[in-house]
Amino acid sequence: MESVSIYNDEPRAGTFLISQGFNREHKKVIELVKKYKERFLRLEDNKSLSADLIIHKVPAKKAGRPVEEILLNEAQTIFLGSLFRNNEIVLDFKERLAKDFVNLRKKLQALSQQKSEPLYQMTRHAGKIVRAHATKTMQEFIEYAKTQGGSPKGCDMYYTNITGMVNGLLFIVEGKFKNLREVMTNQQLMTISSAEQIIDKGLRDGMKKRMFYKDIYQDVRRRVMTFAELHGQSEVIEKQLSIIGEGIMGHAKR
């Protein structure tokens, strides 16, 4: 498990894994961060991201049960590490943290370079057009569902539910991003555009046939699941970034 991940497009280390790496109780690590809170806040680079410590819930599958941790940037992580007395365990984990921060920064730089490539820009632009059409159709479907007696609150959730369904079926996401599509590869952008075309057609077909809105949603869900089964999932960020980085490095050597 990587000790550093991405939160809103920035490398961050969580106190939960840090406490395990330093062989400390997580509760004690949290107390230490809060004790020197003002110093940690002065080391916050992105003031627009948070004016306070960034609290994050660790998924139960990683923590055994949901717990809250604090997400730290590189400078904050270095400062926290300086508060622990060195021994072999602490030194080993400090070394691992340093390598993970450096590696993730390199991968993010590779992604930034990808965005300047003409092929990426063309794919991204084409994807925005498809997304706009699908969004319009989803909004029409929401109004259609309301006319058939669906509750306004429940119907309004269809947009979020459909988007979440597509992302969950097609991608394995490590980290949290302001815009997931901004960190996808060309192939992933084409894949999600194909899925949105399937959604657009499925919703329009159902509404044209005057099907019950819940049946339309289930039909679209089955179509997307079939597409996902045929296509498979791909990882966003962790392994994909490595592939992008290797591709750019290889291109540079030519």
pLDDT tens string 189-214: 999 999 999 999 999 999 999 999 99
* Distance (Å, whole) CA 133 – CA 122: 17
Residue 248 is predicted with a pLDDT of 41
- Distance of CA 115 to CAs 6, 56, 60, 108, 111, Å? 18, 29, 35, 11, 7
* Confidence at residue 1, expressed as pLDDT on a 0 to 100 scale: 58
Residue 208 to residues 140, 141, 155, 205, Cα–Cα distance (Å): 12, 11, 18, 5
Q: Supply the pLDDT for residue 108.
A: 80
DSSP letters for 122-184: HHHHHHHHHHHHHHHHHHHHHHHHHHTT--HHHHHTHHHHHHHHHHHHHEEE-SB-S-GGGG-
Q: Span 240-252, mean pLDDT?
A: 45
Structure tokens at 135: 């969004």
Write out the DSSP string of 29-50. Answer: HHHHHHHTHHHHHHT-S-TTT-
Q: What is the dihedral of CA 47, 51, 53, 57, to 10 degrees?
A: -90
Confidence band for 234, pLDDT divided at 50, 70 and 90: confident
Pairing mode of beta strands 234-236, 171-173: parallel
Q: 90: which residues sit within 8 A by CB, 6+ positions away?
A: 22, 23, 81, 84
Per cent of the chain over pLDDT 70 is: 87
The domain segmentation of the chain, as residue ranges, is: 5-105, 115-253
Mean pLDDT (the chain, rounded) = 86
pLDDT score for 113? 82
What is the per-residue pLDDT for 183? 82
pLDDT of residue 240 exceeding 90, the answer is: no
71: left (phi over 0), alpha (psi -120 to 50) or beta: beta
Question: How far is the C-alpha of 229 from the C-alpha of 77, rounded, in Å?
Answer: 40
pLDDT tens-digit profile of 40-98? 999 987 665 567 888 888 776 665 677 899 999 999 999 999 999 999 999 999 999 99
C-alpha distance across the termini of the chain, in Å:
34
In 3-state terms, what secondary structure has residue 72?
strand
- To which H or E segment does residue 249 belong? helix 238-253
| Average pLDDT of span 141-155 | 93
What is the structure's pLDDT at 48?
A: 56
The pLDDT tens digits of the residues spanning 106-131 come to 888 887 888 888 988 999 999 999 99
